[in-house]
Structure 1
């Protein structure tokens, strides 16, 4: 018996020593790899932060500059995702209500939205534009209505400012810069088809806007660039103006080159689109939404409700395709649930408050939006890794993990804005060890592709 106990103790001790040696080995390799990365010419005027934890124990494997606040770009989305799961709930769904105040065959239509960013999205069968419009039209027909005298959109308690702090002028006219309203439509996005010339420097013409944005026009100041140069076209829409401009370049010899922009007023666009559909089934209605405060529901009867996909499904596309609109809508929704006011500032305040309660100082989450598009955000890799570790222990982790893309053979969210590159996520090594990591780089020089390859080389140590 004594011999058996000694043998067992020896086996356990050897396993512990092996694990400790392996951990030290990974720590040492990370230290060497990160030092080489920091000394690279691309980081001459930049700063990098890396935080790696053992996923099973939560112990720090390696960290450098882990408490330094850096711009996270779209790695901010892991913070917003985890916050939404915790503060809204895995099964949370948006509800958009439609109500009528009847007077014979006439009626006023009241739309009571809740900030649903999936309303009219092409990502789910039930949210697609034609499905949504057909369902509303049929529901109105069943009410026996022949004429809608007014269309009201209830914007009560929802911040009318759709652009979070710090978003850049170059971004906000383009699809990835679409901000959230209480009523969103088609992810607040439209497409522009462009035709370039056969020679470099030739002017580029606008072929079509799909769908046509009512009340707005675009002009092109684009020129043709060399083949293979890709999309370098940006849409600029002056505030409170009805005309925008596209500047930059697209490649030569393109007949229907597509770029996408942000709809300036999504609720107006939706109401006008709905009017066309209703006209097609014999129901007359005005073409413009009358947005304002709350219209008493006592005068209207809800006859139709559109329910969004569950939060778990929204988070999937939020992270997989890095849809900025979803993150900004979720932040405002968190605020609306807690305080009744759909405000980015109040939503950010709730997020920081929640994670402070979980032991993460609010000074490590100096954030102003939910998507990471604002260069004013500053977070620490310690905070990111801690939130990722927190997520592993939650019942909603499966959906969250599934939402993360795969880069470099690792489950991780990427982030990119000018001068910023980031990755954070999870990885299981060949030896079975599991890691949680966050890696941010700010103010690097040179090409993004080059710095990405060098970041991958550091993360490869975890394999």
Structure 2
């Protein structure tokens, strides 16, 4: 009798939630900002799997960074939570020989043991101990493919030159980022200068069309870059009222940045530029990445696109039956190989891969199309795995709900989990494409719909 009463109660509360969602969602669709938009919302009961609300859940929409949950769950299930990437640096005479692993943490500021300052110091310390006190002048890779430059299919030129458009190739350093420091003018419309001494990398040729914007207007500058050419075009605005204003670009020659950072440390220590090469002396430095639990945390918390592209390539290597020794063979893996690995994984888990029409691992490409149904099924799968606490902790909190957000032009999305005040657990995905007006405006309206789950 008590069991029957509980079932009736659960059914009634679920019905009430469905009705509240339906009313809020209908109001959402009628908003002028959604006049030419398409949206999808799919919500299930996390415990029973029962559908609470369904609107357009089988229609593929651009997911933006909510797609990262697709990559993150496949990565945790396949590679686990422990360290998997190993990068080896050998110094022989003046040569720096790198055996890369596609590790996005190598030289990253996000982890104490991985910062570029620590790695460079550790390498220089070994050189001093061995008496190899000369300045390095060449970078080589154990696999020639490690230096190839690949941009994921569908990434637009406006993104590729900026920090969030950094691609994951065989060798990654400092998350393949550099800083460009501007000297804004005094008022809106003024030309800007570039402080080359303070910038993280020296470019032989920069076309600076970036202007000064209104005070407090923030970073509205975009870097345009063609890999293989030492040229930059910068457009947009940086705010007035700042002595210096920093933006970050994507580094498609990280090996040169690594060499420059090493040379700075060698010069600081008084290493000789003209000494004999000491070709018989060799040092070897090995770097092990942090655990994937830490890397997944930053991937989801800060939405680092680079990590998603590195992860899917690692999955592709495993998918090729080469095991989990992520050495220089990773350099031969393409983004398309990574996408195929992700789709193969989810097909084996029962997801219709036609609901995952993806071309990268991060969601940056506007060509991606994913259904809210597939995202919810993936989140439901994650909930039953032993690593779920790691995944759940990595999800950001928005609107007092644990969920991954996604934003590209005229696209906004949220997907995740929520426990209502009456103890009901929900899994949801909410995507909106082609809205008009501001992203911040549509976010508040999406939150009002999701508030019905509280």
- Structures share fold, TM-score greater than 0.5: yes
User: Is 1:99 aligned with 2:90?
Assistant: yes
- Residues 1:30 and 2:17 are matched in the alignment: no
Equivalent in 175, 192, 201 of residue 189 of structure 2: 201
Contact 1:119 1:187 (C-alpha < 8 Å) held by counterparts: yes
2:179–2:201: 8 Å Cα contact kept in structure 1?
no
Aligned with residue 49 of structure 1, among 34, 37, 40 = 40
Q: Tell whether 2:210 aligns with 1:222.
A: yes
Which deviations, in whole Å up to 9, do the C-alpha atoms of 1:67-86 show, x marking residues without a partner? 11111001011111111111
Q: Structure 1 stretch 440-449 or stretch 229-238: which is displaced more? A: 229-238
Query: Does residue 142 of the first structure (1) align with residue 129 of the second (2)?
Result: yes
1:318 aligns with 2:299: yes
1:140 deviates by 2.8
Secondary structure at 1:167 match in 2: coil
Mark the CA change 1:119 to 1:209 in structure 2 (over 3 Å): closer, same or farther. Answer: farther
CA-to-partner distance for each residue in 1:110-167, whole Å, 9 max, x for gaps?
A: 2101011111111111111110101111223333434567531234565824310111
Residue in 2 that maps onto 1:303? 284
Q: 1:40, CA displacement in angstroms?
A: 2.0
RMSD over equivalenced CA pairs, Å: 2.1
* Correspondent of 1:273 among 243, 258, 261: 261
List gaps (5 residues or longer) in structure 2. 275-279, 321-328
- The alpha carbon displacement at 1:435 in A equals 0.6
Whether the 8 Å CA contact 1:213–1:263 is kept in 2: the answer is: no
Alpha-carbon distance in structure 1 between the residues aligned to 2:91 and 2:167: 29
Contact residue 308 and residue 362 of structure 2 kept, 8 A: yes
Task: For 2:191 and 2:282, locate their aligned partners in 1 and report how far apart those are by CA, in whole Å.
Answer: 54
Q: Tell me the secondary structure at the aligned position of residue 151 of structure 2.
A: coil
Specify which of 220, 231, 238 is matched with residue 250 of structure 1. Answer: 238
The equivalent position to 1:191 in structure 2, one of 176, 179, 185, is: 179
Unaligned 5+ runs, structure 1: 1-8, 287-298
Check 1:39–1:243 CA distance in 2 against 1; reply closer, same or farther (3 A cut): same
* Among candidates 387, 400, 407, match of residue 396 of structure 1: 387
Paired residue for 2:156, among 163, 168, 179? 168
Contact 1:120 1:185 in 2 (8 A): yes
Partner residue in 1 for 2:170: 182
Paired residue secondary structure (2:150): coil
Larger Rg computed on CA atoms: 1
TM-score, normalising length from structure 2? 0.91
What residue is the counterpart of 2:346 in the other structure? 355
Cα separation, partners in 2 of 1:32 and 1:155, compared to 1, 3 Å: farther
CA contact (8 A) 1:97 1:302 kept: no
Shift of 1:278: 2.8
Q: 1:125 aligns with which of 112, 132, 156?
A: 112
Cα gap change, 1:63 to 1:157, in 2 (>3 Å): farther
Check the 8 A contact 1:192/1:209 in 2, yes or no. Answer: no
State the aligned residue count: 438
